Chains A and B, each alone.
Chain A
Amino acid sequence: MLRYLLNKIALLIPTLVGITICAFAFVRLLPGDPILAMAGEHGVAPARYEELKEQFGYNLPIWQQYARYVGEVATGDFGVSISSKRPVLEEFKTLFPATLELSFFAMVFAMVIGIPAGIFAAVKRGSWFDQSLMGTALVGYSMPIFWWGLLLIIFFSGYLGWTPVSGRIGLQFFFKPITGFMTIDSLLYGKWDAFRSALSHLVLPSIVLGTIPLAVIARQTRSAMLEVLGEDYVRTARAKGLSAARVIGVHALRNALIPVVTTIGLQVGTLLAGAILTETIFAWPGIGKWMVDSIFKRDYVVVQSGLLLIALIVMAVNLIVDVLYAVINPRIRAA
């Protein structure tokens, strides 16, 4: 197992190098001089220009610049935002819990509905339920997030009044963040009302963000289950007279889950991409909205470092998935 883990970590190194090169090249490949771009319309005096060039290291040969950049990143120095003048890592830390909390609930929503629906569709293969579920999943997968979000707001918040329209928590609740997760912080302060408010604010954005992963998970579970249900050992289990629930729940599901876990891991990238739109509609103060704003503001430092930080997270999640995969499926470890 340890060898397997080390192997996986070793494989991450080239990816990591690739990502730092991408993030580094991003700023240099854009048209225009980065210093002039940062200086804005008033420009900078020639002397000050040289000074800044030296300060940012743009006067060095490109490979030295890269080495310097990697050195900075390795020591945890991700730079200072051009527009807000605050350290990028600090902004990231402030905003990331919001994205993480939303992604977590979106994933829970996708799994809690997607896995049972997929199993049921596989068991009742060809039934009207199966047909309509797979049709719905296709619709879900192709759903434009922006439109879907507004539709849900207008119906559930506007027409029915069941859920709040946007934001993270009711405005009457105001406390300094401890963990940055509203659901956890509200409990730490012992405020049940605030906890309920935070949960109710999570409902619609989680549904919107979880829709695409839900569709993918349901389809993947169904096809994995179908494959497993046709295996000899399932037939044997049935022949032994085990109950249908036991055959499906224990013998089939455990094996069918292996590809599903991989799929779930891969959805993390989809979640972060979807967060960009979802956060904008629901006024959710997370990193998706932060990245989009920074791109428009030409805040190169934020975009470069934000890109790297997000990539690191996706890589970490993929590593965890690989490990889980090995836990569920011992054959992988041996291979």
Chain B
Amino acid sequence: MKKTMAFAAALLAASVLSGMASAKTLVYCSEASPANFDPGTTTGGNDFDASSRTVYSRLVEFKHGGTEIEPGLADKWEISDDGLVYTFHLHPGVKFQTTDYFKPTRDLNADDVVFSFDRQFNKQNPWNGDKYLPNLTWDYYTGMDMPKYVAKWEKVDDLTVKLTLTEPNAPMLANLGMDFASIVSKEYADQLEKEGKMADFSTKPVGTGPFQFVDYQLDSVIRYAANPDYFKGKEKIDDLVFAITPDATARIQKVLAGECDVTVYPNPADIATIKANKDVTLMDQAGLNIGYMSYNTTIPPLDKPEVRHALNQAIDREALIKSLFQDAGATPAENLIPPTMWSWNKDVKTDAYNPEAAKKVLEAAGLKEIQLWASDRARPYNPNFQRAAELIQADWAKVGVKANIVNYEWTKYREEGKKKDRPGAFQVGWTGDNGDPDNFFATLFACSAIGVSNYSSWCDKDFEDLIQKAKKTSDQAERTKLYEQAQVIFAKEAPAFLLAHSQVYAVVRNNVTGFKMDPLGIHRFDGVDKSE
């Protein structure tokens, strides 16, 4: 009997092992550990790659590799003539992922959709505040002005949800394709609340997306498995692994050595090496992004546009871009939005390099010292904040302004930087979320974004009127005109120094198919396959 048992066990082990050997695993070398796995509470691209784009789905989705909207959990939707009521019809039979910590007893329904949004603004919802996680701010929900535009979410029946707006808002549909609008499971939330383990909601995610969460080893590896019940069909790869590798050179070496299949954000200095390698492909695309440096426009003498213009003029932008991006390439920014986006104003030009003129203005204004902020993280729109800071420091020294560089780790950096009374010049940037100009203008410079993502604390009435009007109009030609005017005001007022729109890169091994560069700056692994 014992022998039979042992034989059976050995057979089982062998079959499990052979099953493992044939499993298709895709390894992505990611650049940072996620803060957590709840996309409503996080803001970083690396957070979203690890949560919303793998584990979750949304009512509407962006076309893979594009900015067009396509059906997601909602098969179809209607918008009322006055633009105030959106009715979504949910795909029937969508299953939440079954994991070892949660077994769903019902399919996705309207309750889940209502809950996913309610928790982000309703103070009475137990998931809104400290009871769930301390110091929650729901940055994206606020930053996208959702509290202002959303009147209510309603369940019509199990498969129909109605969204009522306070006023027409053209980019709303695109907003619902964004990461913060990921649909979470109410049943799972209720279960955790009952068990008194609410914090697990952010560490053990459950969604309806292409991959389901398996395990996270702190600061090291995240593991996912293909969701067998995915409503758009099971993925071709069986296992997806994120190997967290903060050093860019180590990431590239790992792809070249075959230890990972895909990675992103190579050092510009490594581009030539990558191009010369026959086993990997360097993919690139003009990024839907902008690198810039916000002046706090509320603190004298930076409250005067001429001082801000002078600081811009003192920077040798061409040399700066060359030194930062090297062979990787970048387009000097004339406007806040990149030239690939509709409504880009070709007639607007930003300040030209003119240190002599700058010096006179700055001397007159009495600006002797300024804080210049830099972080440690490489971003697509600025591969090296620290080097940029040092070069700008040198340029400003030439016009008699002493810049003191302030450093923080990326998460802390943004937290400190968005404070209304943060002094000086703050280097930052943006990668578009939904391909709508509103996503640049309103997110970064609307009055309501002060203290959230308006790092300049800039609130200009004319500019604000234009972008708010553009937001309410559904006619694209009309919106284009409004945004063109807004860019003229932006150039005149100069709330920020505009650096560049970078090329974005991904390095992919040649046996990987179906990986697409995403103009939205996210990294998706649905539809990706790998041959031996």
Contacts and interface: CB of A to CB of B under 8 A. Distances in A.
Interface of A: 38-42, 83, 85, 91, 94-95, 150, 153-154, 157-158, 161, 164-168, 171-172, 174, 280-283, 285, 289-290, 293, 295-298
B300 to A, nearest CB: 22
Given A91-B218, A95-B219, A85 B249 contact: no
A254 B419 CA distance: 63
B272 interface: no
Contacts of A172: 20, 25
A41 B415 contact: yes
B137 A42 contact: yes
B275 to A, nearest CB: 15
6 smallest CB-CB distances across A and B, nearest first, come from: A296-B409, A285-B220, A285-B219, A165-B254, A165-B253, A158-B253
Interface residues of B, number: 39
Nearest to A42: B137
Nearest to A150: B249
Nearest to B217: A285
Contacts of B218: 91, 94-95, 285
Interface string B394-429: 000000000000001101100110110000000000
B491 interface: no
Contacts of A158: 253, 256-257
B490 to A, nearest CB: 25
Interface stretch (B171-179, B239-247, B284-292, B517-525): B239-247
Contact of A153 (B199, B253, B376): B253
B134 interface: yes
Most buried by B among A38, A154, A174, A283: A283
A83 B259 CA distance: 31
Given A85-B133, A158-B257, A171-B241, A281 B247 contact: yes
A289 B249 contact: no
Contacts of B256: 158
Given A166-B245, A174-B215, 11 more contacts: A42-B135, A157-B253, A157-B257, A158-B256, A164-B259, A171-B259, A280-B246, A280-B247, A282-B250, A283-B244, A296-B409
B243 A283 contact: yes
A161 B259 CA distance: 11
Contacts of A83: 35, 411
Nearest to B220: A285
Contact of B245 (A40, A283, A295): A283
Contacts of A280: 246-247
B482 interface: no
A281 B250 contact: yes
A153 B247 CA distance: 12
Nearest to B32: A293
Nearest to A296: B409
A127 to B, nearest CB: 38
Nearest to B252: A158
A174 B411 CA distance: 30
Given A85-B133, A283-B220, A166 B215 contact: no
A95 B218 CA distance: 8
A111 B259 CA distance: 31
A208 to B, nearest CB: 12
Contacts of B35: 83
Given A171-B221, A283-B246, A285-B218, A296 B376 contact: yes
A283 B415 contact: no
Contacts of A94: 218
Contacts of A164: 257, 259
A283 B250 contact: yes
A281 B249 CA distance: 9
Contacts of B134: 85
Contact of A297 (B137, B254, B412): B412
Contacts of B220: 167-168, 283, 285
15 contacts: A40-B415, A41-B415, A41-B419, A85-B199, A94-B218, A158-B253, A158-B256, A166-B245, A166-B247, A171-B243, A174-B215, A281-B247, A282-B250, A296-B408, A298-B412
A54 B246 CA distance: 39
B261 to A, nearest CB: 11
Nearest to B221: A171
Given A95-B218, A285-B218, A293-B409, A166 B223 contact: no
Interface string B1-40: 0000000000000000000100001010000000100000
Contacts of B241: 171
Contacts of B250: 150, 153, 165-166, 281-283
A110 B139 CA distance: 49
Interface in B178-227: 199, 215, 217-221, 223
B339 interface: no
A165 B257 contact: yes
A34 B520 CA distance: 38
A285 B137 CA distance: 29
B451 interface: yes
Nearest to B408: A296
A165 B259 CA distance: 8
B253 A154 contact: yes
A83 B36 CA distance: 10
Contacts of A40: 135, 137, 415
Nearest to A154: B253
Given A280-B246, A293-B409, A166 B254 contact: yes
A165 B133 CA distance: 36
A168 B408 CA distance: 28
A40 B137 CA distance: 10
Interface string B73-102: 000000000000000000000000000000
A174 B223 contact: yes
Given A153-B250, A154-B249, A289 B219 contact: yes
Contact of B257 (A161, A281, A285): A161
B418 A283 contact: no
A152 B501 CA distance: 34
Contacts of B215: 174
Contacts of B246: 280, 283
